[in-house]
Every structure is written in C-alpha cells, then in structure tokens.
Structure 1
C-alpha cells in the first residue's frame, strides 16, 4: 500500500487534536459517520497500535469471553489516548452482533479523538458478512460490488435521533423476508422500542452520551432475520444496584439472579416494591409467546441464552447491554397488513 500524502497526515493529526480540544471545551460529541478516518492504509507515520481481532468474532457463548475481552482491550487502549489498527485479516467466522458491539465502542472512542485504521478478513465469507452488515455506513472503506446491495443495515443514534419511522420501516422489511409480505410486527417493534427506552432513560448519565446500535441481517433463502441491539451505557446490573435494588441486594443470589428476575417480571414479587420497570419483561414476554427466538442478553458480568438455558458469569465484564434474537418461520406469525 502507498503511504498517505503529507497533507492527509497533517489533516488526521490536526483533527485528532481538534476533537480532544472540543471535548474538553464543551463535551459536544460527533457521530462516527462524521469523525472516523475509516479503514485507511497502515503504512504512515502516525503512531497506531495493532489490535488483532479474535479469529472467531462472534458473541455465542463459546466465544463471547474472548470477544468481550477484546472489546475491553480496545476501550483501554483508546482511553489511554492511543490510535489503533483493527486487524481482521485472520477472521474465519464473524457475527453481526460482534460487528455492532465493535462499532459501538469505536464510535465512543472516536468522540474522544481516537483514530482507527484497519483491515478486512482475508477469507471471502466473513469479509462478505462484514461488508453486507452496514458497518461501512459508518466506517470508510471499499465494498465489493457484489456486497453493495443488501437489506442488511445498522441504525444508530447520533447528532440526529433515529426517527421511529425508519425503525418501523426496517422491521416491515424484516417481516417481508420472513413471511413473504411486508407487514407490521408490534411485538418486534415493542422489543426494540423498550431497548431504546432503557438505553435513553437509564444507561447513560446525560443525554449527550446516549448511543445505541441496532443491526438487522437478512437471509432470504432461510426466511430468517437476525437482530442485535447494543448500547455502551451502565448495563442492567449497575442500573438496578445503583437504583431500585440498592437496599434489596440481599434478596438476590447474585447478578445472574437479578437479571433473570428482571426479565421474568419478578422484581416486584421478590422485593415487595411497586416496580414500574416493564421494559425487560416486555422483551421476555414476546420471546415466551414465540414471536422471536434465540434470545441472548449480555450485560455487565452476565451472559444469558434463554433458548440454550445458559446462565453464565463472565470473567470479562461488558460495560453496557447487548441483545440478540432471531425471527424465522418457526416463530408465531405476526405480520399485520399496512393500512394507508
């Protein structure tokens, strides 16, 4: 690869200093789409640290510890003020949820003045998944023409809030993939809305910090859509233990017990409190009613896969909340006609 031109190198350096100055002066964040340098050549004089990605970059139970450790490593390097090369060359398998989690932490650090460069997977299948995921809506980089047309996308917060109409339209598209016809799905919409509301109301200290990413990945052949939602806020455990459950922790066995009880709507019965937090029970109720399957939740040091009945305490805590689920033709059909 050719070296960057001196003029572009000076631009990157000046931009990094300007972002740090802006952050110190008024804390006004920029969206990743505006600020990131993208996947640019590595042979240049700016100081970058190579951060190789795990070769299986997925948030399934078998691989989540390594991926979350990697995410935490990126956060640590970024908060020390160092720029990074995200090296994906050796990836053999990749998941859209892990892509969204990576994108969310990159956005967080870009707002603090960190610059990212990087590479794509060499193998065509994981490279195709990355290129089709929506990642390159936010990160500059070339996409193979065969991967440029896709229903896959990632929605996010930024300087302008994602309108509910855009969210609704993507869910309508997902129903078309699953059921062969465009239609509304109140259950899926309500799940995503509750995730957004939890992120906005509880996960962040102030409004300027609110960031979430919602990814949809379509498989027309399998009549399947995979969904993931991630925010980099406090996480479910910290939200509860610093709030409503602060004086009731002795009623719970551990963090796993807190999260599972919150989803199954048992907080009120366990504590005797008049609990108004209906967001997590709404998500679980839609799962329990069969409108979605393969529900996975990662938050702080808790990993729960409801389908596989996995409840696991993570060695590497994730500061934030991640949800993953699927909708396919094994789910209870919910595809209501769109009325004009």
Structure 2
C-alpha cells in the first residue's frame, strides 16, 4: 500500500500518495501537528548531532552515521532531522551525500529537513546535495555532483589516474590565481584511491564507491579536500591479511605491542613507516598512508586528519585518539593554501 508524506517535501523525493481516513482526534490538531504526526509515522526520524562534524565531534557523528547504516541494512525509510544543527562542515555534507546514494541505490526512501541556520542550509544547497536527491541512482561506476570550482564531489569504484590533473588545475587557480604544479596533491589522491582497494574485503574490491569532495574557498584562497572510503577501515583490513609471508610478521609485531588493543598507537606507527620496516625489512619508500604523512611534512598539504575504525588522528599536530565507537571505513581530510609548495606550470 502506498502512503502519503504530509508537508513540504524539501528533498524533492517522489512519493506515491493516498488520502487516509480522517479520525476524530485529528480535527483537534493544528496543521503543523498533523504534518509532524504523519511524517513520523512513515519515516523513522533520526536527529543529526548539533555539532555535525567528523572532525570536531567524531563520536556523536559516527554514532549518527552508524544509525543510518543500521536502517539501511534493515531497508527502513529514514527522515533526517537537521533543524537544530549549530555547526556543520563539509565532512558531514560528504557523508550525507554518500548515505543518500546508498539508500537510493537500493530504492529506500530517504528524506529530511533543512538546518534552521541559513549558513548551513546554503552549504547543503551549494554542495549539490538536493540535486542528487532528484537523480536516478543505479550501480554506476562514477558520479559527479556539484559545481566545479565551488564544491564538487566525485564518487568512483576504481583508481582514476586522470583525476589529479583537473583537480590540480582547479585548486591552483583558486589558491594562486593561475595554473601551478602541485605534485603532492596528485600523489595523495593516487595513494588514497589505491588504499581503497587495499583496504577492501578480499574478493570484494571495486564494489564500493570512494568519495572525493573538493571545496573551494576563494575568499581565503584555500581548497579543502575530503576523501571517504566506506570499506572496512585500516585496522580491520590488517586483520584480514593472509597468515603467511610478510603479513605473518606484521601480525606477530602487532601482538608484541604493549598497547596492542589501542589502534591509535598502531596508526601512528603505520603513518611513520615503522610497520613497513617491520614487515619488509626495508626503509619506507614513499607509498601508502606514510606517503600522505610525508606529503604533509614536505609542506605539500596542510591540516591532515584521518579517521578510521576507532581512531581519530590530527596528524598535523601529532595527536592520535582512541574513540569509543567505530567508523566503518576511512576518512581523510586536508587542505592546500598559499603557504604550501607549488611549482611553475610546465604541462
């Protein structure tokens, strides 16, 4: 049986309708009360955190995302209540985009409302968030959402070696006012795309999208990046490595750690290249996650932060924190500003 969602459907989701029989008690309710009553009957309402950010409020934001993932697995229709958001950044916007695509890909209805604060309402609109809600979603390999040189999000299932060039051109024009070569940016993008496959469950590589959101702040001449991989995360992927060869050495090394159950220590060692040395017996040569940290140390990128499983790390400030809950995947954010390395354009 089809049902009706009463009230303004701000997500523009097409919903089949019917007119329910009136009840005596309904005539004593105001129009606004009836709208809320019927909305809540049809969708399960989930409130976003007031501080909606994986960077500044990881625990509550991860809990919110995990609630959505649980409803997705149960194929339940969801109404996201954003009315009371007091702060929201692009980490939240990117995660919402990815969640909406997942729901729509399985034809599960997903709806919600705007934040009361105009600043965050505008941020959602500018991101192309509502445009994607009107887009037919299938199992396409690649999606592009938003406006280039403003807020632009790409989703793909494979390594796209050609992506770095257009992103570098757009970034350098925003930050430096002209085309400049940003070697570190291209290297970081490639390493993250490769890591998406490396951190996938065995025999399931290429099944899930990675998400790249590029946010241009022309007034302050900086560009911020968010890379989101809904795989199983760094530490869970290490557990799935085969019990042989170099991976056997890795697992023995992890078992020898004093705080072996504290993944924050493990992430620090991983980024610093210590684990690579243990597994291979050779110095780190610039690939993988340690290469991203090295790009930061060379001043190719700034403000590097990573969230994976139960760890939040502000890599730029050498802070690694164990969380009370787990994020199913890996989140990486960084920015490029006028103080970062750049070279004359030579292409």
Aligned to 1:264: 272
Query: How big is the shift at 1:277?
Result: 8.8
The 8 Å contact of residues 200 and 210 in structure 1, kept in 2 or not, is answered as: no
The 8 Å contact of residues 301 and 334 in structure 2, kept in 1 or not, is answered as: yes
Structure scoring higher RCO (CA < 8 A, sep ≥ 6) equals 1
**2:209 aligned to which of 187, 208, 211:** 211
Q: Distance in 1 between matches of 2:149 and 2:112?
A: 23
Q: Give the 5 Å matches for 1:265-280.
A: 265-271=273-279, 273=281, 278-280=287-289
The 8 Å contact of residues 100 and 133 in structure 2, kept in 1 or not, is answered as: no
Greater Rg over alpha carbons, structure: 2
Report Cα offsets for 1:280-325 as digits up to 9, x if no partner.
1110110011111111000000110022332111111001000011
Aligned to 2:255: 250
Shift in alpha-carbon separation, 1:319–1:149, aligned structure 2, 3 A: closer
Structure 1: runs of 5+ lacking an equivalent: 12-40, 142-146
SS at match of 1:121: coil
SS at match of 1:324: strand
Query: How big is the shift at 1:115?
Result: 1.8
Shift in alpha-carbon separation, 1:246–1:270, aligned structure 2, 3 A: closer
Aligned to 1:224: 222
Query: How big is the shift at 1:162?
Result: 7.8
The 8 Å contact of residues 150 and 217 in structure 2, kept in 1 or not, is answered as: no
SS at match of 2:133: coil
Report Cα offsets for 1:254-291 as digits up to 9, x if no partner.
31122111111111334565688921111011001111
Aligned to 2:325: 316
Aligned to 2:150: 151
Worse overlay, 245-254 or 282-291:
245-254
**1:49 aligned to which of 44, 52, 56:** 44
The 8 Å contact of residues 174 and 222 in structure 2, kept in 1 or not, is answered as: yes
TM norm structure 1: 0.78
Q: How many residues align?
A: 298
Aligned to 2:83: 89
1:104 matched to 2:98? The reply is yes
SS at match of 1:246: helix
Shift in alpha-carbon separation, 1:276–1:106, aligned structure 2, 3 A: farther
TM norm structure 2: 0.77
Query: How big is the shift at 1:165?
Result: 3.4
Aligned to 2:58: 64
Q: Distance in 2 between matches of 1:197 and 1:137?
A: 29
Query: How big is the shift at 1:329?
Result: 1.7
1:195 matched to 2:204? The reply is no
